[in-house]
């Protein structure tokens, strides 16, 4: 299986490929899961390097979480 060096901790041949994985975002009190992401993960330090399309979707979801934190009055809609 193809491996690559970790960009974070510098260990050689330690990142492995993953596809279509759900990645959890844990941001203070808020959590979200971003489905079907692809990229590389380091076995040594757990650093994840997402593919460009996956990274964009991950950051979009993160942004939404941050915005919802900045609008506390909208956090708990009365449904």
- What residues line the site for Zn ion (CB under 5 A)? 6, 8-9, 42, 44-45, 47
Q: Which CB atom, from 18 or from 61, has the smaller least distance to Zn ion?
A: 18
Distance (Å, whole) CA 39 – CA 71: 32
Contact between 5 and 11 under an 8 Å Cβ cutoff? The reply is yes
Q: Which CB atom, from 11 or from 62, has the smaller least distance to Zn ion?
A: 11
Q: Which residue has the tokens 């506390």?
A: 72
Based on its alpha-carbon atoms, the radius of gyration of the chain, rounded to whole angstroms, reads 16
**Shortest spacing between CB 43 and Zn ion, in angstroms:** 8
Q: Which CB atom, from 36 or from 45, has the smaller least distance to Zn ion?
A: 45
């Amino acid at each position: 299986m193809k491996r690559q060096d970790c960009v974070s901790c510098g260990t050689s041949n330690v990142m492995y490929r993953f596809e279509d994985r759900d990645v959890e975002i844990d941001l203070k009190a808020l959590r979200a899961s971003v489905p079907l992401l692809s990229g590389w993960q380091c076995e040594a330090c757990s650093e994840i390097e997402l593919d460009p399309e996956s990274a964009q979707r991950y950051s979009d979801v993160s942004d939404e979480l941050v915005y919802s934190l900045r609008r506390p009055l909208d956090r708990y809609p009365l449904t």
